[in-house]
Amino acid sequence: MTPTLKQVLDSLAVPPAFSQHKVTTDENVLTQLYTWKSNLQSVLNQLDSFDVSTLALSEQADLVRVLAPLTAVAQWSSPETRLVASALLRTLIPSRQLINHVLKYIVKPLFAPTPHPCLHTYTARILPRPADTQDTYVQQIWKEHPGLDEVVRWAVLNSEPSAYESTWPLLLPPVMSFLDDYQVLFKILGVRLVSNMLTRVPLELLLRTGVDALLFTSLTNSLNHLRDPLTPELIHIAVPTTLQLIDLANPSLFPHVISFHAQSHSNEPGQATELIHTLSPVHSKSLSTRFTRLSTLLSALLGTVIMYTPILLPPSPAPGPGPDPFADPEHVDTNSEKVADTQPPTKQPVNPTLVAAAQTLPAVLSALDIGGSRFLKGIIPVLAEWLALPIFSVTSVASAIGRMPSVGASVAHVAESTGQFEEDTRPSAPELALYFASLSSISVLFCTCTPRIGRWATTLVDALGRCWVGCLDAEGQSGDKRVLKDSLCLLKERLRETAVQLAELYPNVVEVCLRLDLSPTLIFHSP
């Protein structure tokens, strides 16, 4: 007997248990999930017998509801099933009627019981003050539908810019619910949805409804979640998405910021001054808002993520006897002999949250341009401290930074925004990611804050010299680790390039270092 379309779609719906599969210990549930995933390919092939063009609007919407989650890179899908699901989904014509039907009758009912406190329930307009948030995170039934974010993403990417006006009240609430959720996993999904939405939504709609300010606040607040294992991934996508929002809502009137900065310090600075005075009040306000938001983003990285994140992960406590069930919970034993011992703090892994913040810092500094000079007092000491860390005391482990993007990704972002840097795609050991990210930030500051960086020249030379000596020490201890040796050579090359760039900008720095008898000045010379 040939199954009906409803039966096939019911078989393809992702089981809700997948949302809790990482904490599920029930063997029966895990077996059912494995069986469902094993049969997924064959069930998907049954959809070939149905003519999509003859399906009703509600049936097409059900197809989107079922197929969109299967296109996600998740534990319930495989590369083969993702290809089949994507091909089937492309057979549907994303008409305005279909998108509205999906959002109104499939997505909206799942979020209706827990509306976003800052949005009107029906119009999605921003409320003058947040509504009662007592039950916002209680009984969130939308979390029982794994892959629901892919359904929303399908609607976001397939809506024409001219159609966003009508779909806005249906599209914005689920996106904001993902973005402002208290769990980092769903917050990451929300940031990705925002990034997709910013590529399609009309700028006029963002500014007229004030959603740009709401999105900016939510994105910067996401950097406050520092105790979750997914925090590094959140930082890696939240910072670029925030810059994407700023560039859209408050674009720079000087697309070649480095060229304009150089012009303002040329022999004819009056031209740059005259250009600034001719800006209209609207443009002046936009530039002011842009600088304020970029400063807020940098302050969130420096004052929240970097300040409250330890450089090294804390050592794991040694196994010992469990807590005394009869102990007084309000009594604190101050006897040091009874305190549980910890593992020696040797070769502790570098904190991946700090590495993520360091790798996103160059793009923010590049966007700020000369405006970053007001933050040099907080930036330079941090970068110098990172470079001065003994290399083998911050040895990372694969589980800590294994999923981190290479430093080339950060440099590539800077190259795209300034046109001054090239992406370095050579492989480097994750143990050295913090050092490479620090050097990338210093290179950006050389180009953007040239008039103010000179007073920090000796501090930078000291940090570069300490890192150079650390490389020499580490080379003798690397043993047969070929990748680490190559990475150390690459780091020494980057150190020399940075030192030469500093000497070219401030020639007297070499003389000062020689006068002070600073031996690390050897890095200024070619090998």
Q: Give the residue, 249 or 123, on which the prediction is more confident.
A: 249
Question: What's the pLDDT score for residue 322?
Answer: 53
> Cα separations (Å) of 419 from 74, 405, 413, 414, 415?
36, 21, 10, 7, 5
Question: What's the pLDDT score for residue 319?
Answer: 54
Question: What's the pLDDT score for residue 123?
Answer: 78
Cβ neighbors of 294 (< 8 A, separation 6 or more) are 246, 364, 367, 368, 371
Q: Give the residue, 524 or 201, on which the prediction is more confident.
A: 201
**Which residue type sits at 479?**
G
Question: What's the pLDDT score for residue 277?
Answer: 56
Q: What's the whole-model pTM score?
A: 0.84
Q: What is the mean pLDDT of residues 507-526?
A: 62
Question: What's the pLDDT score for residue 406?
Answer: 37
Q: What is the mean pLDDT of residues 416-430?
A: 45
Instruction: Report pLDDT digits (tens) over 236-252.
Output: 999 999 999 999 999 98
Q: What is the mean pLDDT of residues 455-461?
A: 92
Q: Give the residue, 284 or 154, on which the prediction is more confident.
A: 154
Instruction: Report pLDDT digits (tens) over 160-197.
Output: 999 999 999 999 999 999 999 999 999 999 999 999 99
Q: What is the mean pLDDT of residues 118-145?
A: 78
Cβ atoms < 10 Å from Cβ of 524: 18
**Ranges 97-101, 133-137, 284-288, 462-466: which has the least confidence:** 133-137
Given a cut of 90, whether residue 316 has pLDDT beyond it is no
- Give the mean pLDDT of the chain: 81
Of the candidates 496, 360, 491, 377, which has an alpha carbon nearest to the alpha carbon of residue 417?
360
Going by the DSSP 8-state scheme, the letter that residue 119 receives in this structure is B
Q: What is the mean pLDDT of residues 483-501?
A: 89
User: Which two tokens mark 32?
Assistant: 């059912």
> Cα separations (Å) of 242 from 206, 224, 229, 297?
14, 14, 21, 8
Given a cut of 70, whether residue 338 has pLDDT beyond it is no
Of the candidates 271, 468, 439, 444, which has an alpha carbon nearest to the alpha carbon of residue 371?
444
Instruction: Report pLDDT digits (tens) over 435-445.
Output: 999 999 999 99
DSSP three-state, residue 20: helix
**Ranges 301-310, 403-412, 450-459, 471-480: which has the least confidence:** 403-412
Given a cut of 80, whether residue 220 has pLDDT beyond it is yes
